[in-house]
Amino acid sequence: MTETTSGEAQPRALLISAQSADKLAELCREAARSPFRYGLRRQTDARETLGKYRRAAVASGETEAAEILLAPPETHGAPKKLAFAFPGQGAAGAVPVAELRRLLPVFSKYLGIAEKAAERAAGASLTPLLEKGRNSDALAEHISVFAYGAALAFQYIDWGFVPDLILPHSLGEFSALAISGMADFEETAEFVCRRALVIDSIKERGVMLHAEAPLDLAEELAARGAGKLSVASVNGPRSVVLSGTESAAREAERALDMAKIPHRRLRVPYAAHSPLMGEAAEKIAALPFPALNEPEIPVFSTLDGNPLSAAICSRAERRAAQCLLPARFDKVIAAARNFAEGAEITAAEFGVHRTLAGAGLAAMPESRWLGASSMKRYVADKPRAYCFRRGIMETAAALWEDGFADGLEWTKI
């Protein structure tokens, strides 16, 4: 896709609210006759107060807007909790940086901070890395995933979408530290860069392999690897990642083929969360780490799903463990369900793609899992800048429908 949006009909938002479901349906039918006649104004039956029942349509044309308004609503009246999810390596993708910085002032502010931090800590230029998307080294991938996700999350918070809990996966824990108020964003960006430089320096890189297999089979395959293969990540009952040497991974692939279990290599150029990271883990543990506060928003550990605290995160041995031990996103999800206490969870994932949605929805089928910058439906003929803009608006609209903010600033992008 090209980056230009010249001549492109840009997405617009129409928001409707009412004090009852019946009244909302009536207003939606009325608005559907000529949606853009309403412009960007909030429409309510009382005209002064925001109703409990809400619909938001994001569309580029009136026919599309009418279809959205007349479709059955995705939301209902159950209590809800908002979760921000931060993915790890593999979540990067090509980003239309200039367009997003023009549209999103808070995102632009934090991206600028990250750019200066990356230059100081590693001599890296962040914008070209984000625009490229697919990166072959840890430095480029890690700072891209961290900076993009955290900067966009700060923008959502500025719009009034403040999370009730934060769900990190692996590298995503550093974004979670900054968003929860535990660590300074700039200091964390510098640490992410220095950590990645250490990882890029290791000689025996290894590979990573995802399999649609249960944990017990993954552990059996790892045991056959005789120390050269380990379980690197557990995302769900049948979603695991193995990490280790090339030869050990090939043996595991043959076993998976014989068992007719789907599997694929990940594009991570080293064996994260494995003993092959031992040398790097020791050096990373010795790196200066940001000063920590207690979290303003609960964060659940990517290692065991337990709530994080300043005391836990300040331990150098824990930073080593993040390199060596499995990422247990299954336990993060279990902790989120317990924290929600029966409320439904609406999750917004702050990566370019929704890499965690499969695991999240499998464990919480009643949840709603949104990509912070992902369109509901991919449209092949649209420019990249349009897709990001619309994806952000659609996600903000869904969160507004769920009642997580009353403000309308997001409609102005």
Q: How far apart are CA 90 and CA 266, in angstroms?
A: 8
Q: What is the pTM of this model?
A: 0.94
Q: List alpha helices for 159-305, DSSP H.
A: 172-179, 185-201, 215-224, 246-258, 278-285
Q: How far apart are CA 254 and CA 91, in angstroms?
A: 27
Name the token pair of 195.
Answer: 């950590």
Q: How far apart are CA 140 and CA 196, in angstroms?
A: 8
Report the pLDDT value the prediction gives residue 76, as an integer from 0 to 100.
58
Name the token pair of 61.
Answer: 């044309």
Query: Residue 273, by phi and psi: left (phi above 0), alpha (psi -120 to 50) or beta?
Result: left
**Beta-carbon count within 10 A of 78 CB:** 10
Q: How far apart are CA 155 and CA 388, in angstroms?
A: 14
Report the pLDDT value the prediction gives residue 77, as an integer from 0 to 100.
62
pLDDT tens across the length of the chain (413 residues): 345 455 568 899 999 999 898 999 999 999 999 888 765 455 555 455 688 889 999 999 899 999 999 998 776 567 899 999 999 988 888 999 999 999 999 999 999 999 999 999 999 999 999 999 877 799 999 999 999 999 999 999 999 999 999 999 999 999 999 999 999 999 999 999 999 999 999 887 899 999 999 999 999 999 998 889 999 999 999 999 999 999 999 999 999 999 999 999 998 889 999 999 999 999 999 999 999 999 999 999 999 999 999 999 999 999 999 999 999 999 999 999 999 998 999 999 999 989 999 999 999 998 999 999 999 877 768 899 999 999 999 999 999 999 999 988 999 89
**What are the angstrom distances between the C-alpha of 105 and each of 99, 102, 375?**
11, 7, 21
Report the pLDDT value the prediction gives residue 39, as an integer from 0 to 100.
55
Q: List alpha helices for 105-240, DSSP H.
A: 105-122, 126-132, 138-158, 172-179, 185-201, 215-224
In the chain the domains, ranked by start, together with CATH numbers, are 1-73+403-413 (no CATH), 80-202+277-374 (3.40.366.10), 207-268 (3.30.70.250)
In the sheet with 53-59, reading across from the earlier edge strand, the strands are 42-44, 12-18, 53-59
